[in-house]
A and B are shown apart, each in its own frame.
Chain A
Amino acid sequence: MRKLLAIVASTAALAAVLAVVEPRFLSVYNLQNLARLIAFLGLFALGQGLVIVSGGIDLSVGAVVGLSALLVALLAGPHPLPGWSAALAGGDQIAIGWSIAIVLALMIAVGAGQGLMITRLGLQPFIVTLGGMMTLRGIAHVLTRGGTAGLGPGHEPFRGLATGTVLGVVPVPVVVLLAAAAVVHVLLHHTVLGQSLYAIGRNEEAARYSGLDVARVKRLAYTLSAGLAASAGVLYAAYLPSVQPAFGTAFELYAIAAAVLGGCSLRGGEGTVAGILAGAALMRLITNGINLVGVSTHWELAVIGVVIVAAAVLDAAVRRREGR
């Protein structure tokens, strides 16, 4: 609880400082853009958070985001690449709705498959999802043959998913994120599944001895993670003019960073939905601040890195003060 307060407070404090220092921060354009970016990160950080609470890790998140965005653009886009079978690419033949459905189903299957390998074969999550990440990333490169994919002009209703607003001000991705967060919040904090995730993350052995369906619960965590990452990928497809095969690289690390900043412990069994959202917001706020204040964007990674380590040091110090 105090962790959550700390992260929300630091996020608010940084926003306040930016508002004072840089008037452009409060412009509608900037705030909408910032909210949109927070929403994208928040979506796949939520999934990562679920996996981390279960005591695992999902390194495939970034590749799922990237390949999802790419596939939507390829399936629904007008410019199939040379040699790309027209029947599959289909240009306008395949409705955008269908491509979204296919991508989501495919990625959920990928997540379920990874979960199955982790639980059924007893493989380490790190290895399974590292392999998943490289495989999906490789497929993205094969599909585009090094080029890029784009939806091209048109597709206004679909583009609206990313660029549109609700009630004239709230970007649509924010609404999507809030809906997803509400669902995940209920799952994590109010259902048997959520309580099982915490128990498994803290002490898998005790969970097994208590008769919990450890394998099923963990599979669900990886499945949900892939599903949420795919949703983020779909929104990115609507947002970006074109998608490169390397798109989404290192996103899994941002997701882990957001989750950990938000109070998740990599030891498992700790973390809240509100915290993860606050963590995602803080990360994007830092980037936004760097851009606005005019510091070279090359500093971005270094600053985020320092913030994460500082948060960990602070957390350890507080723990030690409390006497373990």
Chain B
Amino acid sequence: MIPRPRAGGGARGSRSAEAPLLLEAVGLGKRFGAIEALRDVSLALRPSEVVALVGENGAGKSTLIKILAGVFPADAGSLRLDGEPLELASPAEAWRRGIAVIHQDLQLCDNLSIAANVFLGRAPLRWRALGWIDRRGMEAAARRALVRVGLDRDPRAPVATLGPAARQLVEIARAAAMEARVVVMDEPTSSLGREESERLLALVDDLRRGGVAVLYVSHRLEEVVRVADRAVVLRDGRVEGELERGEIDGGALVRLMIGRDLGGGGRAGGDSAAGRTAHETRIPPHDGAPLLAVRDLRVAPESPAVSFELYPGEILGLFGLVGAGRSELLETLFGLRRAAAGTIEVAGAGAGWSVSAAVAAGLALVPEDRRAQALVAEMTVAENLALGDLGRRHLLARRNRREERRRAVALCRELDVRPAAPETVVGRLSGGNQQKVALGKWLALGPRVLLLDEPTRGVDVGARAEIHRRLGALADGGVGIVLSSAETAEVLGLADRVLVLVRGASAGILAGVERREETLLRLAAGGAAPGRAFTPGGRA
């Protein structure tokens, strides 16, 4: 057991006497239905301090950020600003109080100019009563803010003309223009290249010098090591530990994130491995022909080529950070996107670039966003379960409601959908049961290759175990499964081999004893070869 530097729920740093606290969160708790997203989380930010917030997916980072941003209030605990109690009724109020939260999915208006975005909702007015915008004043102020963040663009240019890095800078300029005292950045580099990331980190240093408190949320541990004065590690909604500047290194962070000592092989704790125990140590049977063969596939002309094979009965994990290109790869395989280059073969036959061709070849995709992409929320369970079959039939073929119902009853029983009533409107089901329906839609067709994108995101523990059990059983029945997830526990618990994606490129395929949490996180976090990025521990 490697000792934890500072375990437990307390977040009070050792330097509490050095500088007054700027923003303080005390004992925050938040529940979503049966899921406890945050429990007794405390966090303190001082002026001129960069605090990193790290944790695996589902550890509660987003929930904490949203509370700080005023998106929703905490169920328990309180916020303090300059020692005074702080109640945030809305995101606008958070901005007004000097707390700038830069969300991962940037919230800019494409059609407006950079200047208008920098001053969105609080444009300087000339005649207040008329609401006449002082355009020239706004543009001058925006220009000054852009200089501060190092973005050399005309503030009159529309945001639509900017790339992801420049957009990120516009958001930060927005924070700069409003003289924010606290800046929260959620995965600011997830869509940035290496040089752009460097620039952003330099900017964080600038903010620190200017007296701003920065809460830096990132999966990329090397960035955390580089920029943070302090790191707070969340795990399962609690503060697992806190590291001071000298203590922060990749190994220590990963240990706290995982919440245990790094023992042997790839066995992941918890429920995720349920039902798949039989496969834990098996060497995938790679004799015979692959079920799915992907060669030199380029999702876009400029993206790197990816090749891999999937064998019958195999579960191939697809691991990577948010924005690593996992969804794009799966969507390309399923014919939703046209590949720029490369071939896809299912059981030796080429698969075309359309969804119907992919379905005909035996592919099925359970997409990432089930409400937007997998299900028609207003339709019933039976109607949704029939959707996959609908696309295969002739348009003028007769719908057989009785048959649809009969199949739905069988699938509901098989997948333990609750309530097991085919007439229930899907939108009324819980996330876990919706996901079962999204899966059942394809199981009805008997697919040969099942592509799953974050199949248990936002799913409760029971449904998660049930889904995992089903996947194990399907693989045992000879179905090939590609399981994309940003959760190491899920990937390691289920997958025979793991393909790690970094910025769209394959960083390696791990099999057998190589499938270790630490190795996965290292590969995914930096794209660096194992052992390069973080020295302590000397593993890998």
Binding site for B on A (CB under 8 A): 187, 190-196, 198-199, 202-203, 205-213, 216-217, 220, 269
Contacts and interface: CB of A to CB of B under 8 A. Distances in A.
Given A209-B336, A211-B355, 16 more contacts: A191-B395, A195-B399, A196-B395, A198-B376, A198-B379, A199-B376, A202-B379, A206-B372, A207-B376, A207-B387, A208-B336, A209-B365, A210-B355, A211-B358, A213-B391, A213-B395
B176 interface: no
B359 A211 contact: yes
B398 A191 contact: yes
Contacts of B355: 208-211
B356 A269 contact: no
A191 B397 contact: yes
Given A199-B376, A202-B379, A211 B397 contact: no
Main secondary structure of the interface of A (DSSP, over half): helix
B396 A195 contact: no
Interface residues of B, number: 31
A323 B362 CA distance: 41
Contact of B395 (A206, A208, A220): A220
A196 B394 CA distance: 11
Contacts of B378: 202, 269
A309 B403 CA distance: 40
Nearest to B388: A210
B440 to A, nearest CB: 12
B398 A190 contact: yes
A206 B370 CA distance: 8
B387 A199 contact: yes
A190 B394 CA distance: 13
B390 interface: yes
Nearest to B394: A192
A194 B399 CA distance: 9
Given A203-B375, A209-B355, A211-B356, A192 B387 contact: no
B10 to A, nearest CB: 42
A206 B374 contact: yes
A295 to B, nearest CB: 40
A210 B367 CA distance: 10
Nearest to A201: B376
A109 B336 CA distance: 29
A115 to B, nearest CB: 14
B441 interface: yes
A209 B373 contact: yes
24 contacts: A191-B398, A192-B390, A192-B394, A192-B396, A192-B399, A193-B395, A195-B383, A195-B386, A195-B390, A199-B376, A205-B373, A206-B376, A207-B376, A209-B336, A209-B365, A209-B374, A210-B374, A210-B388, A210-B441, A211-B356, A211-B388, A211-B392, A213-B356, A213-B395
Interface string B390-419: 111111111100000000000000000000
Contact of B391 (A194, A202, A212): A212
A213 B386 CA distance: 15
A199 B377 contact: no
A38 to B, nearest CB: 28
B contact patch SS: loop
A190 B372 contact: no
Contacts of A207: 376, 387
Given A190-B398, A217-B395, A209 B356 contact: no
A198 B396 CA distance: 15
A216 B356 CA distance: 13
Contacts of A206: 372-376, 387
A210 B393 contact: no
Contacts of A198: 376, 379
Nearest to A187: B396
A198 B380 CA distance: 12
A187 B397 CA distance: 9
Interface in B336-377: 336, 355-356, 358-359, 365, 367, 372-377
Contacts of A187: 396
Contacts of A208: 336, 355
B336 to A, nearest CB: 7
A199 B396 contact: no
Nearest to B445: A211
A199 B395 contact: no
Contacts of B386: 195
Nearest to B377: A203
Contacts of A203: 372, 375-377
Most chain A CB inside 10 Å of its own CB: which residue of B365, B376, B378: B376
**Which of A191, A194, A198, A210: most chain B CB closer than 10 A?**
A210
Contacts of A205: 372-373
Given A191-B399, A199-B376, A209 B358 contact: no
A210 B407 CA distance: 17
A211 to B, nearest CB: 3
Given A206-B387, A209-B367, A190 B375 contact: no
Task: Identify the 7 closest CB pairs spanning chains A and B, nearest first.
Answer: A211-B391, A210-B387, A193-B395, A211-B355, A212-B391, A211-B359, A203-B376
